[in-house]
């Protein structure tokens, strides 16, 4: 019995569930992220998917249907400034993999889709990024603001804005992959929707840490500023080195 025959035979059944809801509550270093930011990402990206999936699993087991969860490479790789978002997607990845094993005896196929970077409506809006920067500044303690610096925070938001401008506006690769995961006779456990993902995962899986780190910085946030405290510390070390060199030169002159 094919998919269409099953649906005609049992109009009350549910064949496919696609969990696509996802949010990125904040953008910034993990130390600068409130616990509410982590909880917000987990609530939607992880707990929301778990809740919806549990609700519809009885129907999906009856139809021997499909579950497709939309995740992110940030759940597999350490993208800077996305600790809250990436952690929630990592939890989603493990939940999906576990679910796939558990539902295999029931005949339910479970797939996960890892899209590359796509341009969503909020990320193309300048006001959106200004609000993100304003929220980050309001939530920072004076001590953290002193250590990191407002210019460091501003650069992070600007880099995210620039990155989003170059994201793909065409969602058709993701849509095509969802359709394939739902209706393929033997769906894959994982799908990668978009260009560059195979290279990214290959480098992350098989290359040394130094190469992985350099590649991640090249394709994601190309930060030029260090936190203010590190810049001041670096400047003090340079001045100390110059002072020591001057003292050594003076001692040599005196000896001559």
Catalytic residues: 85
Q: Distances from the Cα of 11 to the Cαs of 23, 231, 250, 253, in angstroms?
A: 33, 65, 93, 96
- Report whether 202 contacts 22 (CB < 8 A): no
Strand partners, 191: 113
Q: What's the CA angle centered on 85, arms 199 and 189, to 5 degrees?
A: 50
Interacting residues of 19 by C-beta distance below 8 A, sequence separation 6+: 48, 49, 52, 53, 67, 68, 69, 70
Start-to-end Cα distance in the chain = 99
Sort residue 93 into left (φ over 0), alpha (ψ -120 to 50) or beta.
alpha
SS3 17: strand
> What are the phi and psi torsion angles at 26 (to 5°)?
-145, 165
Nearest to 181 by CA among 66, 84, 94, 64: 66
Give residues with Cβ within 8 angstroms of 160, minimum separation 6.
27, 81, 123, 129, 132, 221
Q: Which residues contact 52 (CB under 8 A, 6 or more apart)?
A: 17, 19
């Amino acid at each position: 019995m094919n998919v269409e025959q099953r649906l005609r035979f049992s109009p009350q059944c549910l064949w496919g569930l696609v969990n696509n809801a996802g949010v990125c509550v904040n953008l910034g270093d993990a130390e600068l992220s409130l616990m509410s930011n982590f909880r917000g990402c987990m609530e939607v990206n992880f707990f929301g998917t778990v809740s919806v999936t549990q609700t519809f699993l009885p129907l999906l087991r009856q139809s021997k249907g499909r579950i497709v969860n939309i995740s992110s490479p940030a759940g597999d790789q350490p993208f800077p400034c996305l600790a809250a978002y990436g952690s929630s997607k990592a939890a989603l990845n493990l939940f999906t993999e576990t679910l796939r094993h558990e539902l295999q005896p029931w005949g339910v196929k479970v797939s996960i889709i890892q899209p590359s970077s796509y341009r969503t409506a909020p990320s193309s809006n300048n006001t959106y990024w200004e609000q993100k920067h304003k929220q980050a500044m309001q939530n920072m303690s004076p001590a953290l603001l002193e250590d990191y610096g407002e210019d460091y925070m501003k650069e992070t938001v600007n880099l995210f804005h620039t990155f989003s401008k170059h994201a793909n506006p065409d969602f058709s690769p993701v849509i095509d992959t969802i359709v394939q995961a739902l209706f393929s006779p033997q769906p894959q456990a994982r799908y990668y929707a978009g260009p560059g993902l195979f290279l990214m995962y290959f480098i992350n899986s098989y290359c040394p840490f130094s190469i992985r780190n350099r590649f991640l910085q090249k394709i994601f946030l190309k930060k030029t500023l260090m936190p203010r405290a590190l810049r001041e510390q670096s400047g003090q070390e340079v001045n100390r080195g110059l002072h020591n060199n001057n003292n050594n030169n003076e001692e040599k002159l005196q000896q001559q």
